[in-house]
Amino acid sequence: MRILLLLFIVVPVIEMLVLIKVGSWIGALPTVGLVLLTAVIGLNLLRQQGFSTLMRARSKLQAGALPAQEMLEGIVLAVGGALLLTPGFVTDAFGFCCLLPLTRRAMIAALLRSGKFMAYTSTSHTSQSYYQQSAKRPLNGDVIDGEFRREDSSEEKK
């Protein structure tokens, strides 16, 4: 929680300092134009990468597989899009990192390795995390899987 509070204070200050510095080098109007240009380029890249990720997820679903990687990529793409809409060059740099496939997949791999973010897949009678399944590690804890059926007697309906 404190990290988020710190980010909401530090990031805007850094953005303002960078914008002022760039504005002093190239002028105010070109700086605003550059911020708008990065937003337009970023939104076009977001549209293209989002559509590509959606098509890969759809083909995995049709093949009967869980599109865990594509779902994580969708989350990172959404974060990247939000960062690109935020005015500033620092957030734009992080936003572009979220949109480029190579850096996006590296970010997801780092998140999965950290263990703080897990994607779960479900097989017939077991649930395994995406990372643990790929690393062939056993699960910690028990998994209970079951089915139920509701049977109403005719007396309860009256």
- Tens of pLDDT, residue by residue over 90-145, are 999 999 999 998 999 998 888 888 876 665 555 544 444 444 444 444 455 566 66
Residue 92 lies in a domain: yes
Domains identified in the chain, total number: 1
**Per-residue tokens: 6:** 């710190």
Using pLDDT thresholds of 50, 70 and 90, give the confidence band for residue 153.
Answer: low
Residue 151 lies in a domain: no
Residue 51 lies in a domain: yes
Instruction: Kindly tell me if the per-residue pLDDT of 7 is higher than 90.
Output: no
Residue 41 lies in a domain: yes
Q: In angstroms, what CA-CA distances link 54 with 75, 117, 134?
A: 12, 21, 22
Residue 140 lies in a domain: no
Question: Which residues span the domain enclosing 36?
Answer: 10-117
Give 104-124 as a DSSP string. Answer: HHHHHHHHHHHTSS--EEE-S
pTM: 0.66
Helix spans in the chain (H): 2-26, 28-62, 68-85, 89-99, 101-114, 130-135, 154-157
Residue 158 lies in a domain: no
| Residue recorded with tokens 């089915």 | 147
Residue 95 lies in a domain: yes
Residue 138 lies in a domain: no
Choice between 150 and 81, residue whose per-residue pLDDT is larger? 81
